[in-house]
DNA sequence: TTGTAAACAAGAATAATTATCAACTAAGAA
DNA sequence: TTCTTAGTTGATAATTATTCTTGTTTACAA
């Protein structure tokens, strides 16, 4: 994956990439650092930032805007939206083809003058009810 | 407006509020500070932050998440979405009842287990074509 | 195996935001 | 009006998030 994107394969990139890609959370740089540190005590915070940034530039991850004053990173490259928990600040992936089409089709019927739309993302605010249980989305229409 | 929200009426709040409410931009704290400073040289940055924060807490404004590492503030309290210009980083209000209903209705048909939706906001990414001309949205369907 | 550009760790530097605190003031009570 | 006081402000220090600098190490092409 790194090679495909012309990135040198280093231990640091493998470790950070593995965490980011395997469990699709939306961690801050700090989160990543804390997580990988126990097994990789020599990796520095600057490297975490540079690595995340290089993933973003390579298109392997994206930044997610928040209101908390820190940037979150997302390795889920599929088209998806986000559930923002107002209590825990966690961001949960939400994928729904129909919803996407619905909005996409509608946006195409509008003509937004002087603005070229590239894509969109829906930020669904609310709160997780039971903090330990998972959030599951079910499509009512088949 | 301030009195209705049990906020003491101070010169600083009037000045900052006036800027924020009259031209519905999405300024950073720094933007607000730079803008009001010429006519109010004694207002401090800390006051700008505290004032914006108190507007948010009172429900007179909202924070807008960005990917730039600084928070933006929005005094447009109507339900609306945002056009994010990837080039200039400006955020433009986008209001469309139909689109809102479309998404709202659809979200209600889903049952998102263990998550209580309060509201949502669509982030439309793209770029402003001609930087000096305005961005206008027209509804194609009446 | 070696040369070299790229990447790294450590720590300094900067940028954004928040905290502290003494002085001031809005606004209600007397 | 004047008094009282809780809330607000400005100056400045502190904290937090991120980026920069520099000497050292490493990936990998030749
Ligand atoms: Mn910063
Ligand atoms: Mn901060
Ligand atoms: Zn995501
Ligand atoms: Zn807005």
A117: helix, strand or coil: strand
What confidence tens digit (pLDDT) does each residue in A21-49 have?
Answer: 998 899 999 999 999 999 999 999 999 99
Distance B10 CA to D3 C1' (A): 21
What φ, ψ does residue A130 adopt, rounded to 5°? -110, 110
pLDDT tens digit sequence for A60-92: 999 999 999 999 999 999 999 999 999 899 999
Distance A44 CA to ligand 2 centre (A): 20
Name the residue among A64, A96, A116 with its Cβ closest to that of B127.
A116
pTM for the model stands at: 0.91
Indicate if CB(B63) is under 7 A from strand C: no
pLDDT of residue B142: 43
Mean pLDDT of chain B: 94
- Residue A134 pLDDT level (bands cut at 50, 70, 90): confident
- How far does the CA of residue B103 sit from the closest CA of chain A (Å)? 7
Q: Which residues contact B80 (CB under 8 A, 6 or more apart)?
A: B93, B94, B95, B121
CB < 7 A to strand C: residues 1-20, chain B = 3, 8-11
Instruction: Give me the pLDDT at residue A63, please.
Output: 96
Q: Higher confidence at residue A141 or residue A39?
A: A39
For position A3, what pLDDT does the model report? 96
Interface test with B, best of A65, A97, A101, A128 (most B CBs within 10 A): A65
Residues 6-45 of A with CB under 7 A from strand C: 7-8, 10, 12-13, 42-45
Architecture of the domain whose range is A81-126: 2-Layer Sandwich (3.30)
Residue A135 clears pLDDT 60, i.e. is over it: yes
Q: How far is A121 from chain B (nearest CA, A)?
A: 5
Q: Cite the residue boundaries of each domain of chain B with CATH code 1.10.10.10.
A: 3-74
> For residue B94, what is the DSSP state?
E
Q: DSSP characters for A43-100?
A: --HHHHHHHHHHHHHHTS-EEE-BSSSS-EEE---SS-EEEEETTT--EEEE--HHHH
The two beta strands, A115-128 and B115-128, are antiparallel
pLDDT in tens, A92-101: 999 999 999 9
Kindly report, as residue ranges, where domains of CATH 3.30.1490 are found in chain B. 81-126
Span A3-74: which CATH code? Answer: 1.10.10.10
Residue B3: is its pLDDT beyond 80? yes
Residue in chain A closest to B131 (alpha carbons) equals A114
Nucleotide nearest to B47 (CA to C1'): D9
Return the higher-pLDDT residue of A131 and A29: A29
pLDDT digits over B71-125, tens only?
Answer: 999 999 999 999 999 989 999 999 999 999 999 999 999 989 999 999 999 999 9
Contact B121 A125 (CB under 8 A): yes
Do A124 and B107 count as a contact with CB atoms less than 8 A apart? yes
Confidence of residue B139 (pLDDT cuts 50, 70, 90): low
A139/B113 touch (CB, cutoff 8 Å), yes or no = no
Q: What's the CA–C1' distance between A110 and C22, in Å?
A: 57
């Amino acid at each position: 994956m790194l090679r495909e994107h012309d990135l040198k394969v280093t231990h640091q990139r493998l470790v950070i990439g593995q965490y980011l890609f395997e469990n699709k959370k939306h961690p801050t740089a700090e989160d990543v650092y804390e997580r990988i540190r126990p097994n990789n005590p020599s990796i520095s915070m600057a490297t975490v930032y540079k690595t995340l940034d290089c993933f973003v530039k390579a298109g392997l991850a994206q930044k997610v805007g928040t209101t908390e004053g820190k940037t979150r990173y997302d390795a889920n490259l599929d088209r998806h939206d986000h559930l923002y928990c107002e209590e825990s600040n966690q961001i949960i992936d939400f994928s729904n083809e129909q919803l996407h089409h619905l909005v996409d089709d509608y946006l195409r019927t509008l003509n937004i003058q002087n603005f070229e739309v590239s894509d969109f993302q829906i930020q669904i605010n609310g709160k997780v009810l039971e903090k330990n249980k998972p959030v599951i989305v079910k499509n009512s229409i088949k």
